[in-house]
Structures are given as structure tokens and as C-alpha cells.
Amino acid sequence: MDGSFVAENRVERERLFALTSKLDEASLKHEMPNGWTVAETLTHLAFWDSYCVALVAGWEKSGYSLTKANVEATNAAAEALAKAIPAMAAVGLVREAAEAADNKVEQITPELAAAIEAGGQANFFSRFRHRQAHLDKIAKELSL
């Protein structure tokens, strides 16, 4: 397994922390072009990082098994929850989830990593890609 994801995850996690430190209530409630607010977008990121932690924890206990998520349905369910979370709470959620996900993927055993890679789900290691895509959109939208 190529461990370059560790440094890239850290870079985007640090970028996430820096960007979220600049956000106030008004910017968190700013609507993005896709109709989600900035806070909902951050909650979306928190959900997927938390999902990664839960999935990998399950694989650690029971062994790897191919998992196919219905991303559209999952996003819709997560969006409904995100709307109920206070905007400022999204900052803490996304930060905690990013740290937890990065720590979890850094601790994967070589055997589990090999099984996950062989199953075509190595994307779980590279949390930075999902964060980067959304942070780029937020930064552009808010001119940060």
C-alpha cells in the first residue's frame, strides 16, 4: 500500500481546520450552488469520514467484505440530518470526523489494507480527495 495518502490526508485536514476557523454563522448558512449550505456541506464531509471509520472498524472485527453503498440515497439521508444540525456545530463535527478518519486509516494493518485494496476500495484511505473537492467549492464560493 502506498502510504502517500497519510500526508495528503493531513494537508487537507489542516486546510479544513484553517478554512473552518474563518467561518461565522452567516458564512455557514451561505447557500452553495447545489442548494446545500456551507454547514450542510461540512456535515456531509463529517458523515462520510464517520462512515469510513465505522466501515473500517467493522472490517477490523469481522474481516473485509466488499461493500457497495447507494451513494445518492446515503447523501439524501445525510442531507436530511445535516439540515437539523445547528450551523456552528457542523464545524466541530467535521473536524472531529476528519481526525478520527485519518487516525483510523493510518492504523489499518497491512493485511486489512491489502484486502481493501484487492477489493477495489482503497479510496477509503484517501480521505483528502473528498475533502479537497468540497473545500475547493466552499473556498471559491466564499472567496476564501
Write down the pLDDT at residue 123.
83
CATH of residue 49's domain is 1.20.120.450
pTM reported for the whole predicted model = 0.92
Range of the domain at 41: 4-142
Write down the pLDDT at residue 1.
60
- Model confidence pLDDT, tens digit, residues 64-115: 988 787 888 988 889 989 999 999 999 999 999 999 999 999 999 999 989 9
Write down the pLDDT at residue 68.
81
Residue 93's contacts (CB-CB under 8 Å, 6 or more residues apart) are 42, 43, 46, 85
| CA–CA gap between residue 83 and residue 34 (Å, rounded) | 14
Q: How far is CA 115 from the centre of its chain?
A: 22
Write down the pLDDT at residue 70.
85
Cell, residue 129? 480527495
User: What's the structural domain count of the chain?
Assistant: 1
Q: What's the whole-number mean pLDDT along residues 37-61?
A: 95
DSSP 53-109: HHHHHHHHHH--------HHHHHHHHHHHHHHS-HHHHHHHHHHHHHHHHHHHHT--
